[in-house]
Structure 1
Amino acid sequence: MTRDAGGGGRPSLGTGRPSVAEEAERAHRSRLAWKAEQLRVWDLLQLITPWLLLACSTAVYFSWALPASGAGFRPQGAAVLALVAVAVPWVLFGHTLPLRRRRLRPVPAGVYFVGLLALCVTLMTYSDIFLVFTVAGFFHAYLLRPWPLGVLGVLATSVALNGSAMGVWAGPTRDVLAEFLLIVTVQTAAIGVGILLTARSEPEERRREELVGRLEAALHENAGLHAQLVAQARESGAQDERQRLAGEIHDTLAQGLAGIIIQLQAAQGSARRRGEPDEHVARALRLARSSLTEARRSVRALAPRELGRAHLPDALRTLTERWAREQGISAQLEVTGARERLSPAIEVSLFRVAQE
């Protein structure tokens, strides 16, 4: 039995194997990612389908259907080109831009759909090739709300599409009419079921996707706050430790040095009264006073006095000269290499080593 360091202490069986909770969480994330990808693909299809179908219909009409009919560009080709020129801004401002901005409203969507179907029916009177463009009506019917309007849109699209393809408007026979009604019924039922299921599931999926996005943003924010709290806790712990050490230095080392200074001053005074000045006592007194000053600086979390006025090489040179003068011996400091600025903590540590 081991514990996952990154999973909040959740147990997992074996060594290096994910726990059941981790596998379930991974599967849930994979399922959410797959559903989000489905929504993105569906949105992309909704955006590009009318443009793709209109472009294909127009290209085939002018490259094949119009020359095959034997008619000239005027007036039939010009009329079709004018209708296509009307369809482009109609699709752009009624469908593409509102859908990209997620501002498609029920009433404007219904008006757009009726106008689109009218354009499709009119184009099909010039050539059956624009049946391809009419198929876009099935995709746009999914955008109509509430869902019964979407089913009605599928019915209208199916009637327009199959009516033109089967020649129902030009006096159909009983068999053609029966076939037309059967195809329209089956087509409307099949696509209408999809609209019903989409109307019920898509809003929930989109809300779930937005919720997951907000949760991920909240997790990132919580991670930042957690890191900030950890840093503050570490800093607070270091501050508490410094205060504890400062209190111990003040209560022990500083007081002991103060007592040594008092005793050395008494010994120095006694020696002067006897006319026997003692250089060792004076040196010990200076050393004790210097140590007391350093202890007080440590309590106040300050650097050594020498480092407060100069960089490490200069401070070491000053320390060496003072020690040589006090001890009466010859000593010199040699610094080689380029001078680099170190962190205060490293400079203090190196200075303390040399001082000791």
Structure 2
Amino acid sequence: MDWDGPWRALPLGLLALATLIAAADAATPPAARLLTVALAAAVAAWHWWMVLAHPQWPERALTPMAIYFAGLLALAWLLSVRHPAYTLLVIACFPMAFVALPGRHAYLGVAASAVVVLGDPVALVRSGDSWPRVAAVLGVAALAAFLGWVIRAMEAEVGRRRAANRALESANLRLAALGEENTRLQGKLLAAARRTGVEGERGRMAREIHDTVAQSLAGIVTQLEAAEEAADDAAAVRHRLSVARNLARESLTEVRRALHELRPGPLTEARLPQALSALVTGWGDRHELPATLTVTGTARPLHPEVEVTLFRAVQEALVNVARHARAGRTVVTLSYMEDVVVADVRDDGVGFTPSAVSGEGFGLTAMRQRVNRLAGNLGVESAPGQGTAISVSVPAIPAEAEWGTR
């Protein structure tokens, strides 16, 4: 709570109360009461003009506040002489010293208020035995100064906490703005990466078709021509047709695999954790190898491109395990974090030395290209006899995020 307002209004409240008491005092002549009320109105106008009408002066401008406080104290003393009820206004001068006067000057105001509360300063000097009254003045001044110091210290602490809270709120707003800007820039980056990667993806598909389907079709043509030339040899014709049939089947398998890679069927009917669970379970059953999937963090829908990339990465890693690892167990972990999603595939197979392998297979190269298009990371850790670990980390782009022109 801000106490400046109540403290600044305190003299007016006590002044109004004292004026009601003095105006209702029948023992005072009407003319004297009228003069007292006029002085009270002057005090109210003085306080309003110097404090309430100029809120920037208190505790900042010494000269006007010193004039104000001296005038307030003098008028309060004069009113208290006319009627004892105005002692309330003199008492209000104690907190007003800390409200109006800056820094250490407030303690001088407290001392002056203590003198006025306990009596006329001239009377203190002329009194034959003034020490008791002086001691009382000093005691009241010390007590009021201590209380004022405590209140000022508390207000300073409240001010520091408010400043700290404002700074924290400002920092939080800046962080939120930076987060929104980061998300927006990330979307633009990914959109640009996708646009620039389209040609690379087309080139990769062209190379794959050339290396698989085109070569198979060329082999089929060769076998059919050879069968035509050996038409008189039934055994040779059957052999050539058998080779051509096998090449056609292999070509069909490659075409289906390429189409499946463009649109993974499991992800059209389920989210990523369910699709990976089915993939890992089916892979383990086909190869008769123990394989488990563990999902950590809070699973949430991701952008289709992110889910496809993670699904294909795990799929390719499992293919490599079946072909090369000779593993006894495979563990797949899908970890949902705040900003990224990580898929790890670990096996206890024979392992290898990554630095000793020249180049990468097509599957690992395609995996790396997919991950790079998402500004992600692909890591391979392995050593002879210690198995292999493949880790794919991609940004956790939400499902509703804009991806850019496809």
Deviation sequence 1:79-110 (CA, Å, 0-9, x none): 12221221122111212233367674112111
Deviation sequence 1:106-132 (CA, Å, 0-9, x none): 121111100001110111122111111
Deviation sequence 1:23-78 (CA, Å, 0-9, x none): xxxxxxxxxxxxxx4xx23x23322211211111112222x32x2x1512xx2122
Confirm whether residue 187 of structure 1 aligns to residue 140 of structure 2: yes
TM-score w.r.t. length of structure 1: 0.51
1:54 maps to 15
Instruction: Spell out the pairing of 1:151-190 with structure 2 (5 A cutoff).
Output: 151-163=107-119, 174=129, 177-190=130-143
Confirm whether residue 234 of structure 1 aligns to residue 213 of structure 2: no
Pick the aligned partner of 1:133 from 70, 78, 89: 89
Pick the aligned partner of 1:71 from 3, 26, 29: 29
Distance in 2 between residues matched to 1:103 and 1:150, nearest whole Å: 9
2:165 maps to 212
Contact 1:94-1:109 within 8 A present in 2 as well: yes
Give the C-alpha shift of residue 242 in structure 1. Answer: 4.0
Distance in 2 between residues matched to 1:94 and 1:252, nearest whole Å: 84
Deviation sequence 1:251-275 (CA, Å, 0-9, x none): 5369979xx9xxxxxxxxxxxxxxx
**DSSP 3-state at the match of 1:99:** coil
Query: What is the root-mean-square deviation in Å for CA atoms of aligned residues?
Result: 3.8
2:48 maps to 92
Instruction: Spell out the pairing of 1:241-256 with structure 2 (5 A cutoff).
Output: 241-249=194-202, 252=205
Confirm whether residue 145 of structure 1 aligns to residue 63 of structure 2: no
Give the C-alpha shift of residue 172 in structure 1. Answer: 6.7
Contact 1:53-1:136 within 8 A present in 2 as well: yes
Contact 1:154-1:191 within 8 A present in 2 as well: yes
Percent of pairs with identical residues: 21
Distance in 1 between residues matched to 2:58 and 2:205, nearest whole Å: 73
Give the C-alpha shift of residue 155 in structure 1. Answer: 1.6
User: Which of the pair has the greater relative contact order for Cα pairs under 8 Å at 6+ separation?
Assistant: 2
* Structure 1 residue identity aligned to 2:167: R
Pick the aligned partner of 2:37 from 76, 81, 99: 81
Deviation sequence 1:233-257 (CA, Å, 0-9, x none): 1331243134323431365369979
Distance in 1 between residues matched to 2:195 and 2:174, nearest whole Å: 31
Give the C-alpha shift of residue 158 in structure 1. Answer: 1.4
Pick the aligned partner of 1:122 from 49, 60, 78: 78
TM-score w.r.t. length of structure 2: 0.45
1:110 maps to 66
Contact 1:47-1:99 within 8 A present in 2 as well: no
Instruction: Spell out the pairing of 1:269-288 with structure 2 (5 A cutoff).
Output: none
**DSSP 3-state at the match of 1:135:** helix
Distance in 2 between residues matched to 1:93 and 1:159, nearest whole Å: 26
**DSSP 3-state at the match of 1:125:** helix
Q: 5+ residue gaps in structure 1?
A: 1-36, 261-342, 350-356
Contact 2:97-2:109 within 8 A present in 1 as well: yes
Choose between structure 1 and 2: higher strand proportion. Answer: 2
Distance in 2 between residues matched to 1:76 and 1:253, nearest whole Å: 111
1:224 maps to 177
Contact 1:95-1:104 within 8 A present in 2 as well: no
Distance in 2 between residues matched to 1:200 and 1:70, nearest whole Å: 43
Contact 2:14-2:92 within 8 A present in 1 as well: yes
Distance in 2 between residues matched to 1:115 and 1:83, nearest whole Å: 12
* Structure 2 residue identity aligned to 1:71: P
Contact 2:58-2:65 within 8 A present in 1 as well: no
Distance in 1 between residues matched to 2:28 and 2:113, nearest whole Å: 30
Aligned pairs, how many? 214
